[in-house]
Amino acid sequence: MTRFRDLTKYEYFDETVVSLVGEPHYVHYRHQPTDRVLNVGWLNFERFDQGDVPADFVARLDEYATDRVNQTRGSQSCPICGLDNPSLGSAEIHVQAPDGTIYAAPALVAHYVSAHRYRPPKAFIDAVLTGRNMADIVRDAQSLSN
């Protein structure tokens, strides 16, 4: 899996594709401005921060992992334990904090937190607890346009 340090500028894709659960189509969404999109949870074999996180954070992260952002055809297994879960290893989670910053993480971040005690940066934890994921933002925009 590609490794990016936490809170560095996101540059993996220049266009974001959101796949809504239960929807038969994809929605293209371009991040603007790109310097407000930051990496979180792109782990590999290197050492990473570990520790306790709030239970409601874990529950919300698991919920966010069901919506597909930048779904790919290939799948990555967990670089730590080898878990091969195509639904987690082939997409991303994008969360927008109240200040507008967007955090982009592999969907495997939910597994990293639960199974390996990965502790993401506080800003990401806060964004998951108080912000919105891209799928919800796209759903809201679609309902306003109908």
pLDDT in tens, 85-115: 766 777 888 999 999 899 999 989 999 999 9
By three-state DSSP, how is residue 53 classified? coil
Q: Phi first, then psi: give them for residue 137, nearest 5 degrees.
A: -65, -45
Please tell me the chain's helix, strand, coil percentages from 3-state DSSP, rounded to the nearest 5.
30, 20, 50
8 Å CB contact between 112 and 80 = yes
8 Å CB contact between 45 and 79 = yes
Q: How confident is the model at residue 145 (pLDDT cuts 50, 70, 90)?
A: low
**Taking all residues of the chain, what is their mean pLDDT, rounded to a whole number?**
83
Sign of CA dihedral 82, 83, 84, 85: negative
Q: What's the rounded Cα separation, in Å, for the pair 139 and 123?
A: 24
Res. 123: pLDDT tops 70:
yes
Res. 29: pLDDT tops 90:
no
Q: What's the rounded Cα separation, in Å, for the pair 123 and 120?
A: 8
Least confident of 12-21, 52-61, 135-144: 12-21
8 Å CB contact between 91 and 71 = yes
pLDDT for 71: 73
Nearest in space to 99 (alpha carbons), one of 131, 121, 125, 128: 131
The pair of three-digit structure tokens given for residue 64, joined into one six-digit string: 């966010």
